[in-house]
Amino acid sequence: MRYFKSYSLLAIMLPFLMALPGWAITPPQVGEVLTVGDYKVLHGETDIEAPMETVWGALTDYGNLKHVMPGYTRSSLLQAHGSQKTVDLGLKVNPFIPELRYQVLIKEGEHRNWMDVERISGDFDALSASYQLLPQKNNPKATHLIYNLKIDFGIPVPGVSLMMRANMLRDLSALQAYCVKAPKRGLLQAKASF
């Protein structure tokens, strides 16, 4: 719980901290929500000052997602078959909507640089997402993350576009903060084991 609170606070403060001179991290870029048939579609990108292995590790530590991205209330790996994983998730998008529970099938890329996510049961009529990790052109020790989300809520949800954009911005900012702090957490854990 201690990690969750510190990353949530850092995710909230990140846009303000990035305005300081000399801050190297750029804020996530989140597009406008598009309506395509019954789907709401959203695209986001961010640069993370951490190697691809660190970002991949944070995204694929399925039991820990609730501590990485503050929107998740629960996350657990149910099954693993090679590059395919079944994960149980709980998501709290705002205080006025009950927790959304659903299971997804995740297909991980062979080179640990992409994953596709598909809802297999639970809330939402349909949900699919994709993550792509690329080395930054000007900094090979940093990662460029591309995230695409496509949801059919199944019912009209007032304010869904604002809610989706705010949640993606919050979660990408939290992922940035978590990955940047990853080496410090490892160092602290190593010192504690002596």
pLDDT along the chain (194 residues), means of 10: 47 51 69 94 96 95 92 95 96 87 96 96 95 90 95 89 94 94 57 35
For tokens 């991980």, name the residue: 108
**Residue 188 within a domain:** no
**Residue 119 within a domain:** yes
What pTM, to 2 d.p., does this model score?
A: 0.81
Count the domains in the chain. 1
DSSP secondary-structure letter at 27?
P
What pLDDT is recorded for position 103? 97
**Residue 83 within a domain:** yes
CATH of the domain at 85: 3.30.530.20
Residues of the domain holding 127: 2-183
What pLDDT is recorded for position 21? 38
**Residue 93 within a domain:** yes
**Residue 59 within a domain:** yes
Torsion sign across C-alpha atoms 1, 116, 128, 86? negative
Among residues 73, 135, 62, 64, which one has the least CA distance to residue 101?
73
What pLDDT is recorded for position 188? 35
The alpha carbons of the chain give a radius of gyration, in whole angstroms, of 17
**Residue 100 within a domain:** yes
Among residues 29, 105, 99, 43, which one has the least CA distance to residue 71?
99
What pLDDT is recorded for position 11? 52
What pLDDT is recorded for position 169? 95
DSSP E strands in the chain: the ranges are 29-30, 34-36, 39-48, 72-81, 84-91, 100-108, 114-122, 126-135, 143-152
Share of the chain above pLDDT 90, in %: 68
